[in-house]
Structure 1
Amino acid sequence: MLLKSCLAYLVIFDNGFSMMPLLTEIPFVWALFCLIEWFASKRKLLYYFIVNLLLTAIFFAAIMYYKYYGVIVTYHALDQVNQVTAVKNSVFSLMHPYYLLIFIDIIVFAIMLFRKREIPIDMSHRPRKKALVMSLFVLSVIVCFVNIMPNRASMNEIKKAEDMGILNYEAYTIFSKEEKELVDPQQITRSAIDRIKRTQPVVSGNYAGAAEGKNLIIIQMESFQNFLINLKIDGQEITPNMNRLMNENFYFSNFYQQVGQGNTSDAEFVVNTSFYIPPRGAASGVYAAKQLPSLPKLLGEKGYNSATFHTNVVEFWNRGEMYQALGFDRYYDEEFFGKEDTVFFGASDEVLYDKTADVLQQMNDSGEPFYAQVISMTAHHPFTIPAEKYKMELPERFEKTFVGDYIRSQNYADYALGQFIEQLKQNGVWDDSLIVIYGDHLGLPIYSLTKTDKQLMEEIYGREYSYTDMINIPLAIISKDVTYPAVFEQIGGQVDILPTVANLLGASVKDRIYFGQDIINQTYNLLPQRYYLPSGSLLSDDALLIPGSGYEDGTEYPLAGEGGKGGSITEDEFNRALELLNLSDSYVSQLPDREPAKDEAASE
């Protein structure tokens, strides 16, 4: 068990080989073994086998979950079990063969169980043995408490798990009730949020109503990171269509993801509500029963029809319920797109865009404005698209690498997007629309990269790949006669899309509750982060802060690219970011429940 815990520490905490598990993990194991010795008079080997299997499964789950998400798994992840089969290729791609060594002793235990050999017990020493077992149990429990109690206040979940011990941390999350007190909804006002964010009042915002009456098309690009923009490898342009859009329109280069456990579905939630993700779980599960104020409902008040397009089944990540809560009039999923040209979870991006373009033309021809959300998917982890989808030749050094597969899949995604753009231009939809394009979340987690992958990323960046690079995604806003070539360097996040778009379309958000800001007219920003970065992490105009136990021992990272003022994040900013998260959690969790029968999105 010591070797298993050492392997978990090596992978997760990246501190080299450590003997810390002797103090942080083994006492927990001893406590369980003592209980077996105390209570089990028969079939002890079976109970040892069960406990060993359970603890091994916890260590293995912790390793794999960290490699995929960069966080420590807890029992809350059980809500995701039904998603595992869908992402099994992604999970298997992260598995190193030596991880399986963790199960070797399980085989030995199983063989011993099947031998069914009775071992005689010397009853004369039983009282002395029980006293020894009880003493060891009490000592083990005391050590566990000593590991847990001083570290309860630590904000950084990874540091907390390292200091407590993984097994202690798992037990602590089950029995602790660290719920923040909800703020009274009457106190959650527009002025209160603006005060915390330090948002400056704008008397007459630039571009207010500049795209009024136009359709809105939001295109969410799967796993698309900002470093791809204008990237060339050995002279090959990786994303020529995205480059053109960014270079000829409004391009936000310091834009960041704000998703969590729900990944793509979380991005949909944040963009359509301007709320932050919940502290635990996917927003599509936690908040789907609520009457959510949203972009579809806001535009619906201006006569817009709304639809969302995604080639997977609508049940994946509980999207059907979320779309009802968001107020979309219609959704188009696998039932509409079919299973032709399937890549990973659904029809390819080419099928998505081709069939979506036809629907958008029909909606445009109706004479009523529409809002369409289009979710791409082919460039999904682990990025191993079929060879017939290759649109570029990779240099030899990129072949058979995670980074190379990622770049090749995004090159295909860009190709498919280019086809979509041409269709929209030909059928007249493009000129009649305001188009917003952004990446939904990261594709290349630092904690999933091999040494070779890290070297390739250093070649691309000209420096070490950082946490800010990892969560940096592009945002482009495009509209004929409105946008022009301009790079906005102020920081922004997905929570800012709703108020920015609302201003352009002339949709009033006055007195509404939202947590983003119009990033065309506001420069200072404060972006709390969750999940992919430890709790308490935030971005400001100056840097990214990842806390340790708290603010004082936190670590700062410069913003991606050339952005940032080079200053430090203040403790006041740290506290205000936490306050924003608590306000969002309090507001959304206290929204009234909806009635699905009266608020149901129709499928096509």
Structure 2
Amino acid sequence: MSSFIKKTRQVLSSRSGFFILVLFLFWLKTYIVYQNNFTLGVNNNVQRFLLFVNPLPFGLLLLGLGLYFGGRKSYWIEVIISLLQSVWLFANTLYYREFSDFLSVGIIKSSSSVSNNLGLSVLEIIHPTDFLVFLDVLVLMLLLSLKVIQPDLSRPKRRYGVIISVLAVVLFAGNLGLAEKDRSQLLTRTFDNNYIVKYLGLDFFAGYSAYQSHQQTATRENARASDVEKVLDYVNKNRSEPNISYYGKAKGKNVFILHLESFQQFLINYKSDGQEVTPNINRFYADQHTLSFDNFFNQVGQGKTSDAEMMLENSLYGLPSGSGMTSYGASNTFQALPAILDQKGYSTASFHGDVGSFWNRDNTYKSWGYQYFFDEPYYKTKSNYSIGYGLKDKIFFQQSVKYLEQLPQPFYAKMITLTNHYPYELDKDNQSIAKTKTGDKTVDGYVQTARYLDQAFGEFMNYLKKSGLYDKSVIVAYGDHYGISENHPKALAKLLGKKSVTKYDLAMLQKVPFMIHSDNLQGGINHTYGGEIDVMPTLMDLLGIQNTDTIQLGNDLLSTNRNQTVPFRNGDFVSPDLSKIGSKVYDNQGNIVNTKKLTAQQKEILKDQQEHTDKSLSLSDKIVTGDLLRFHTLQDFTKVDKSQYKYKYSYGIKALKQAQKKKKTSVIEQNGGKSTQDLYQTDAPELKDK
């Protein structure tokens, strides 16, 4: 035995033996923390493998620094690096437990925000087992201090350090390649910090967030207050006058924003094999009190849903690449619709049956002034309650009622559906219409999930009518972005009964429904060209909220003198007259126009349209990347204090109770304290055995 112990000590005392020991412990504690302290949503074997190996590349790279030094210094450098890893794991464990997100460099730099959010509750959320991440460091320090491990004092062979560094880079390249294969555009779109840690590791996330923070800080520091004057000059020149027939028509009413995932305009009144795909939404669209827009376009970029939300509630475009919500949602100053309404006496809430960290909503919503964010922890979940990205729509709406009925009125409630999401899969029990037969598996399930969304929509409308909310509210329903991309032209052509689809057809297929319902509105189909950038000014005018000094890049869709050029994020545009798609110009019949044969007036119009598109996109990017709204003072508006908002379940429930005591206008209060949940009827098969 003594011989074995002696040999073990000799091996561990060697430079390579000690390095392997520290690396193994570095990897082991990191992997254990991944598995026990974070909820990363590992769904397949590739993700399990990557989660298992992703601590190694950075472990090799960081600990390998010690191999460039000789003697005791080499050993202690590796121990100190392991200690720093333990501190990083420990800090992230506490922060994640409270906010379901990871510490970024931007958050750490805003130390006051972190202390406000975490400081008071740290003793409540800390677990004794959290300190186990320091156990390996303690053992290593004792082994060195007690000379159980005696450092190799020979001259270091630095080529070993170089080999380890190169190996780390090669392993990371392989890790990144596998990650991109399983989740394309992982870094360019940055869906969720959980994804980055799951695929590439917590240490990579630290470096990546540092890079992002540096880029953002550099751009922000170059911005000046004078830049806002240039923006305001452009915005004021292009601001349209409100339509006096509609201004203030919905003043004081509740506002519902029903976010219809991946729902395209062509689904309105569309029939598949003789059946209406969306009968409930069709009725809503044609209702005598619904204003429906049939030339309303999604204008999203890589941020897709997050871009739609950015435009909807800020009248600012998404970024040319990535997502503005994930990159700037936590750090920027916003003058968003939820915050404006909050300061006008509204309760503001977003409902979403997925994790709050997706698209950085849990941070961004604080910047936008949402008082409440009801995300996954607020909902009861079972294995068959969810599909794809979260709760099935019928279950989502049904469970949302218990929070909705507690919101003091008037309220602003955004409800984000999920089931009609790529890859359009639905369990057999919920299928009520046959798949289409285009031969494209991605496309053919679209009508099934759209029908399911429509049924969920119909059930929710029935509840609103029974509870009395239907007549007390403005109900806005819109499609956030395309459902079937231009990468499926043959299938799209078959769906639409065409031989083929042109570039112009594909541009027109970017139309999504936009509908505004209120019992005192004269409904009808409005043919004006517009897009998601125009929603915020439209709603503000309908609600009678002063809107003369805001920085918004859209215009009221109901205005009679508005610019009808609709920019796309890639610089193309569409309009009622001429549209530019790629390098071609089209008329409103979809014919390619020979620009040389245009009249002087038409050429001037085309030039103005392109300038409007380029200028509005450029200014939006400057507003977001330069955080220009910090320099802008909005009349009767107080800058949002993010530290006021906490979305954790326990905080949210407590805040709801306090709000009801303070302002007794909620549905449940007006119903004599009795819940209205029994009024909600759903045929969701998952709930039949409840």
Q: TM-score, normalised by structure 1?
A: 0.66
Aligned to 1:403: 443
* Amino acid of the structure 2 residue aligned with 1:426: K
1:299 alignment partner, SS class: helix
Look up the SS of the partner of 2:515 in the other structure: strand
- SS of the residue aligned with 2:497? helix
CA shift in 2, pair 1:64/1:319, >3 Å? closer
Aligned equivalent of 2:559: 521
Shift of 1:192: 2.3
> Aligned partners of 2:391 and 2:172: how far apart in 1?
39
How far off is 1:560 after superposition?
9.2
Residue pair 2:435, 2:446 contacting (<8 A) in 1 also: no
Correspondences of 1:510-589 after superposition (within 5 Å): 510-522=548-560, 523-530=562-569, 534=570, 536-547=571-582, 554-557=583-586, 570-588=606-624, 589=627
Q: Which has the higher contact order (CA 8 A, sep 6+)?
A: 1
In structure 2, the partner of 1:295 is: 337
Structure 1 window deviating more from structure 2 (351-360 vs 428-437): it is: 351-360
Cα separation, partners in 2 of 1:558 and 1:419, compared to 1, 3 Å:
farther
- Alpha-carbon distance between aligned partners in 2 of 1:559 and 1:411, rounded to the nearest angstrom: 31
- State the shift of 1:62 in Å: 9.6
Aligned partners of 1:513, 1:560: CA distance in 2, in Å? Answer: 34
CA offset at residue 81 of structure 1? 7.5
Contact 2:433–2:447 under 8 Å retained in 1? no
CA pair 461-424 structure 1, distance change in 2 beyond 3 A: farther
Of 278, 297, 302, the match for 1:239 = 278
Q: Which residue of 2 aligns with 1:596?
A: 642
**Equivalent residue number for residue 103 of structure 1:** none
Aligned-partner Cα distance in 2 for 1:63–1:544: 37
User: 1: CA distance between counterparts of 2:352 and 2:590?
Assistant: 32
Q: For residues 362 and 179 of structure 1, what CA distance do their matches in structure 2 show?
A: 42
- Partner residue of 2:247 out of 185, 208, 220: 208
1:415 aligns with 2:455: yes
Matches of 2:417 and 2:628 in 1, distance apart? 32
Give the letter aligned to residue 349 of structure 2.
A
Task: Give the SS at the match of 1:303.
Answer: coil
Give how far 1:294 is off: 0.9
SS of match in other structure, 2:294? strand
For the residue of structure 2 that corresponds to 1:335, the secondary structure is: helix
Given the alignment of the two structures, is residue 330 of structure 1 paired with residue 372 of structure 2, yes or no?
yes
1:436–1:476: 8 Å Cα contact kept in structure 2? Answer: yes
| 1:336-369: CA deviation from partner (whole Å, max 9, x where unpaired) | 1132311112211011111223433333xx4x31
User: In the TM superposition, what is the alpha-carbon distance from 1:268 to its structure 2 partner?
Assistant: 1.5
Residue 401 of structure 2, aligned match among 333, 357, 360:
357
Tell me which residue corresponds to 1:386: 427
Match of 2:349 among 296, 300, 307: 307
Distance change in 2, residues 1:378/1:84 (3 Å): farther
Residues 272-321 of structure 1: CA distance to partner in whole angstroms, max 9, x if unpaired? 11111123321212221122101112212321111100000101111100
Matched, 1:344 2:388: yes
Structure 2: runs of 5 or more not aligned? 1-158, 200-214, 631-638, 654-690
Match of 1:502 among 523, 540, 544: 540
For residues 371 and 614 of structure 2, the distance between their equivalents in structure 1, rounded to whole angstroms, comes to 35
Separation in 2, partners of 1:411, 1:559: 31
Cα pair 1:225 1:474 within 8 Å, conserved: yes
3-state SS of 2:469 partner = coil
Is the 8 Å Cα contact of residues 357 and 420 (structure 1) preserved in structure 2? no
Give the residue type in structure 2 aligned to 1:337: Y
Deviations 1:172-206 (CA, angstroms, capped at 9, x unpaired): xxx9xx999968334245552242x4x5445x622
Cα offsets for 1:82-101 (capped at 9, x unmatched): 448999xxxxxxxxxxxxxx
Which residue identity is paired with 1:218? Answer: I
Amino acid at match of 1:415: Q
Q: Does 1:487 align with 2:487?
A: no
Q: Is the 8 A contact 1:392 1:408 kept in 2?
A: yes
Structure 1: distance between partners of 2:590 and 2:291: 17
CA drift at 1:213: 1.3
Q: In the alignment, residue 489 of structure 1 is paired with which amino acid?
A: H
> C-alpha separation between the residues in 1 aligned to 2:349 and 2:531?
23
Question: In structure 2, do the counterparts of structure 1 residues 424 and 86 end up closer, same or farther at CA, with 3 Å as the change threshold?
Answer: farther
Instruction: Give the 3 Å change call, closer, same or farther, for CA 356–559 of structure 1 in structure 2.
Output: farther
TM-aligned CA deviation for residue 327 of structure 1: 0.2
257, 275, 283: which one aligns with 2:298:
257
Q: Structure 1 residues 185, 594: CA separation in 2 closer, same or farther (over 3 Å shift)?
A: farther
- Please give the alpha-carbon distance, in whole angstroms, between the structure 2 residues aligned to 1:295 and 1:487: 25
| Distance (whole Å) between structure 2 residues aligned to residue 509 and residue 495 of structure 1 | 15
* Partner Cα separation in structure 2 for residue 375 and residue 307 of structure 1: 11
Superposed counterparts of 1:69-148, under 5 Å: 76-77=188-189, 82-83=194-195
Matched AA of 1:226: Q
For residue 391 of structure 2, what is the amino acid of its counterpart?
A
Deviations 1:138-171 (A, max 9, x none): xxxxxxxxxxxxxxxxxxxxxxxxxxxxxxxxxx
Q: How does 1:21-32 map to 2 (within 5 A)?
A: none
2:510 to 456, 471, 477: 471
Q: State yes or no: 1:446 paired with 2:486.
A: yes
Q: Percent identity, aligned pairs only?
A: 29
Unmatched tracts of structure 1, length 5 or more: 1-39, 66-72, 88-174, 548-553
Q: Within 2, Cα distance between the matches of 1:211 and 1:361?
A: 20
Change (3 A) 1:315 1:74: closer
With over 3 angstroms needed to count, the CA separation of the structure-2 counterparts of 1:439 and 1:79, relative to structure 1, is closer
The amino acid of 1:350's aligned partner reads K
Distance, in Å, in 2 between the alignment partners of 1:487 and 1:224 is 18
Match of 2:264 in 1: 225
Verify the 8 A CA contact 1:445 1:470 in the aligned structure 2: no
Q: 1:454 to 1:81 in 2, by over 3 A?
A: farther
Shift in Å, 1:399: 7.1
Contact residue 394 and residue 404 of structure 1 kept, 8 A: yes
Aligned to 1:93: none
Task: Looking at secondary structure, tell me which structure has more helix per residue.
Answer: 2
Query: Hey, what's the Cα distance between the residues in 2 that align with 1:356 and 1:78?
Result: 28
Query: 1:242: Cα distance to partner?
Result: 0.8
Q: Which moved more, 1:347-356 or 1:515-524?
A: 515-524
Task: Find the counterpart in structure 1 of residue 673 from structure 2.
Answer: none
> Are residue 278 (structure 1) and residue 322 (structure 2) matched?
no
Between the aligned partners of 1:299 and 1:231, the Cα distance in structure 2 is 36
Instruction: Report the number of matched residues.
Output: 447
Distance 2:430 2:196 in 1: 25
Structure 1 residue 75: Cα displacement: 6.2
Equivalent pair of 2:435/2:445 in contact (CA under 8 Å): no
Distance, in Å, in 2 between the alignment partners of 1:78 and 1:306 is 26
Q: Counterpart of 1:348 in structure 2: which amino acid?
A: K
Cα distance between partner residues in 2 of 1:225 and 1:442 = 6
Q: Per the alignment, do residues 541 and 423 of structure 1 end up closer, same or farther by CA in structure 2, a change over 3 Å counting?
A: same
Matches within 5 A, 1:135-214: 184-188=226-230, 190-195=232-237, 197=238, 199-202=239-242, 205-214=244-253
- 8 Å contact kept, 2:529–2:564: yes
The residue matched to 1:472 in structure 2 has which SS? coil
Equivalent residue letter for 2:420: A
Letter in 1 for 2:275: Q
* SS at 1:306 equivalent: strand
TM-score, length basis structure 2 = 0.58
> What secondary structure, in the 3-state scheme, does the structure 2 residue paired with 1:487 have?
strand
Question: Closer, same or farther in 2 for the Cα pair 1:207/1:462, shift >3 Å?
Answer: farther
